[in-house]
Structure 1
Amino acid sequence: MFAVLKDTIPLLCRSKLDLLGFFRGAGVAESELADLRRRVVEDRDSINKFEIARQVLTRINERGERDLAVRREVVRRVVQFEDFYTCWPDDQLKAKGLVAELSRLVDVKDSFVRMRQERDAERDQRLATARTKAAQLAQRRATGHLLRDRLARLFAMTDTRQRGLDLEAVLNEVFALDGILIRESFALRTEDGMVAEQIDGVVEIDGVQYLVEMKWHAEKLGMDPVSRHLVRIYGRAGVGGVLISASGFTDPAVNECARALSQRVIVLAGLRELVLLLERQGDVADWLRSKIRAATIDRNPLVEA
């Protein structure tokens, strides 16, 4: 491009002073042109137009970023030059050819610039996405640690009613941590306003809803609380069940749930499993899916995942 400019610009200007005026109009500082202007005035035969163009272009090139706007303006003026009738007649055809060649070089350069800009934009997008994911993971870790600590503190509580309420609230947040759709606890009432059924919550995994029951008893859960939960599940079409216990399950209760697997998906889980899962930053949704697979495929409602 430098070579083409050096050969083209002198053809576009009839006189040496016109040539200096071209560069001055493009933004070249007068201090960069003063010595050349003096030579032209004092001894015009000591330098020709091509030497003037070479020296000026060299100077603005050497100024790097400081003269970037000037270089762009010089190129713009040449590429957009149309008044070829102002050139010497013998130079007009050659000037047109060189301007066309410069336009081609500019198009090629612009193409590479656009490609580089697109690559840079793509790289910046990848970096921004990576930073966003890193921030989300950090936030998820922090939230998981807080929920783990809140669950762990429940084991030291003596107020059983308050502990039950706190457990319900924390588990809802645990399920929501990894995007599990939840419906918090609700009650079904009879026509006279009496509570007919209390549901601790509902979660949705892969389009299937599961009634969730949370129990904190001093002893392992036996047949009675497990059977009541099974009745709630059987009373609704197409739903499964999740039963979480802080004290484990008796063998008869586990066997009863295993028999129920022929009709519905039943998952049993220990509260300490969730505490350990949060401790190792495991994914709650994947944890629940693995337990559902074990219940569905292996017919095992109680397996640590």
Structure 2
Amino acid sequence: MTTGTEYEARIKTYNWKELVDLWSQIESGNTPGWQPGKALEYLILRTFQLEGYDVTWPYSVRIDGEELEQIDGVIYNSGLACLVECKDTAERANIEPIAKLRNQLQRRPVTVIGSIFSRCGFTESATNLARFISPQTILLWGGDEIAYAIQNQCISMALVKKYRFCIERGLPDYNITVEGLL
């Protein structure tokens, strides 16, 4: 079984073109050499790293030897701290990852936000739950947005746009492919 350190070393060699290719494999559900879901986690973190973010790769939080949380990653840039949660399934993500991330955020300083990246998007129930979390701290990313951000090398700009929209409108689901980045 491949370790997190081995995945990290592998993904750090990827450039934008290789990330676009990996995204195509993720979309088709065919990621040889990656355990289920791991390719998406490392792809998302690498895209932010390529745009200058500091990245904390996937890790577990343990208390008294017991695993309390499994974190898919954290990104930092210019005072922004964001927990990352990834869902690489053939179905739209339901409320579970939103509830999980909400609980993780409740254990962190109030300035930390979260982003959930879902290859197939979100159910209506999940989107509704994310819209009514208080305080509003979770941003939603569908597969079309992930593809757009990777292909256009603009994930940083997209995150800022989504975050500003959430601040101004109180909504976590601004779609960069529909609404645009400018």
Which bracket does the TM-score occupy, shorter chain normalised?
0.7 to 0.9
Secondary structure of 1:168 counterpart? helix
Unmatched segments (≥5 aa) in structure 2: 1-13, 177-182
User: Offset at 1:274?
Assistant: 1.9
C-alpha distance after superposition, 1:125-172 (max 9, x if no partner): xxxxxxxxxxxxxxxxx9322211111112233579724122222222
In 2, the alpha carbon distance for the partners of 1:173 and 1:296 equals 26
Equivalent residue for 2:28, pick from 150, 156, 163? 156
Unmatched segments (≥5 aa) in structure 1: 1-141
For residue 173 of structure 2, what is the aligned residue in structure 1? 302
- Does structure 1 residue 203 correspond to structure 2 residue 75? yes
Write 1 or 2 for the structure with the bigger share of helix. Answer: 1
In 1, the alpha carbon distance for the partners of 2:150 and 2:89 equals 22
For residue 98 of structure 2, what is the aligned residue in structure 1? 226
Distance 1:163 1:224, change over 3 A: closer
Given that 1:221 and 1:253 are in contact with CA atoms closer than 8 Å, whether structure 2 keeps it comes out as yes
In 2, the alpha carbon distance for the partners of 1:227 and 1:256 equals 8
Given that 2:136 and 2:170 are in contact with CA atoms closer than 8 Å, whether structure 1 keeps it comes out as no
In 2, the alpha carbon distance for the partners of 1:276 and 1:207 equals 25
Runs of 4+ residues over 4 Å off in structure 1: 158-161
User: Offset at 1:200?
Assistant: 0.4
Aligned-residue RMSD, C-alpha:
2.1
Identity value in percent: 27
Equivalent residue for 2:124, pick from 238, 245, 251? 251
In 2, the alpha carbon distance for the partners of 1:303 and 1:264 equals 13
Write 1 or 2 for the structure with the bigger share of strand. Answer: 2
For residue 109 of structure 2, what is the aligned residue in structure 1? 237
State the TM-score, normalized to the length of structure 1: 0.49
Given that 2:87 and 2:118 are in contact with CA atoms closer than 8 Å, whether structure 1 keeps it comes out as yes
In 2, the alpha carbon distance for the partners of 1:264 and 1:297 equals 11
Aligned length: 161
Secondary structure of 1:226 counterpart? helix
Given that 1:205 and 1:289 are in contact with CA atoms closer than 8 Å, whether structure 2 keeps it comes out as no
- Does structure 1 residue 283 correspond to structure 2 residue 166? no
- 1:294 maps to amino acid: F
Secondary structure of 2:89 counterpart? coil
In 2, the alpha carbon distance for the partners of 1:153 and 1:159 equals 5
What pairs up with 1:128-207 in 2 under 5 angstroms? Answer: 143-158=15-30, 162-191=35-64, 193-207=65-79
In 2, the alpha carbon distance for the partners of 1:206 and 1:298 equals 22
State the TM-score, normalized to the length of structure 2: 0.80
For residue 292 of structure 1, what is the aligned residue in structure 2? 163
